[in-house]
Structure 1
Amino acid sequence: MSSENGSFTADLDRGWIEVVIEIPKGSRNKYEIDHETGEVWLDRHLFTATSYPADYGFVPDTLAEDGDPLDVLVLLDASTLPGCHVRARPLAVFWMEDEAGPDAKVLAVPFGDPRWEHLQDLSDVPPHLLSEISHFFEVYKALEPHKRTDVGRWGSNEEAWEAVRDSKAREAAHRVGSGE
């Protein structure tokens, strides 16, 4: 099943989703892309001495439970730039919550890249890398007033795809409900 609706692009049969990168791996800057104009804005510099453990972005035309597009971390050999589009293959999902509510983070790798083909599901991801990512989300807002995070658990590849499908359905229902 191939899907292209609005700017949401994915090939669910082949197993990839489109991800727009907002924050490159290693950055302490929290960038946000304005979904209306496409402009990249510096939202804030992280208050903690931590940096993003992977390129971080979102799936266009999705709506996660926190009211934003679905978040994705893409494991890459070299970081990209804010605004870069990546075809990514979901591996797992990290379930957490912040001050805005439930906040799923899909973990993915570049689609078709042979360097990452050995990773197919959560069980294939090195446990230490999962711990690094979990730790980042546990502490990255720790020094910010009125912000909080509650880390949850890692979920399987199947759960990651379910998060993608649910966020796309939520966005479609939102469009219908708002008359777009």
Structure 2
Amino acid sequence: MEFDVTIEIPKGGRNKYEVDHETGKVYLDRYLYTSMGYPADYGYIDNTLGEDGDPLDAMVLLPESVFPGIIVRARIVGMFTMSDEAGGDDKLLCVPAGDVRWDHIQDITDVSEYELGPIAHFFEHYKDLEPGKEVQPGGWVGKDQAEKIAQEAVERLEKHPEETNEPSRG
């Protein structure tokens, strides 16, 4: 299952950018309070509607970071389940689509524990020092469950396009 992922935050960044889903502009939301950067390029999957009214969050494993606003064609290999002070906040894990150098990664079990561990650690702790913020980590799930969540989000957008905060892409 392939999707366009709009990158909001490059790997290593501590600036938390958000795309305004009405205007398409990228804003600085906040600077992370903890002294660690995002473990992968991070953004959202276009044309999806999560239960929170926003597109689904996604990370893309890339050999080099890209900058905010870049769209990466990617395929889902798993998902880190979690919730925060606002509710469910799962993070889909993706790799570049159509790149043979990533063909060996088809499911979450193909991703090294040395890659998954730092990602999980980051999302378990990245809000630790922020007043009023909290995280309840779940854990990793495989491609099938992650793709099911993504498909539900595509269907949710099709049924309720008026509820999206995503900009139109005319």
Q: Which 10-residue stretch deviates more, 65-74 or 26-35?
A: 65-74
CA RMSD of aligned residues (A): 1.4
The offset of 1:92, in angstroms, is 0.3
Q: TM-score, normalised by structure 1?
A: 0.87
Contact persistence 1:33–1:39 (CA under 8 A): yes
Query: How many residues are aligned here?
Result: 164
Q: Does residue 92 of structure 1 match 2:106? A: no
Aligned residue type for 1:42: L
Alignment of 1:1-180 (within 5 A): 15-175=1-161
Unaligned runs of 5+ in 1: 1-14
The offset of 1:50, in angstroms, is 0.9
Aligned residue type for 1:126: S
Unaligned runs of 5+ in 2: 165-170
Aligned residue type for 1:134: A
Contact persistence 2:82–2:136 (CA under 8 A): yes
Q: TM-score, normalised by structure 2?
A: 0.92
**Larger RCO (CA within 8 A; separation ≥ 6):** 2
What is the alpha-carbon distance in structure 1 between the residues aligned to residue 105 and residue 149 of structure 2?
19
Contact persistence 2:3–2:46 (CA under 8 A): no
Q: Return structure 1 stretches of 4+ with deviation > 3 angstroms.
A: none
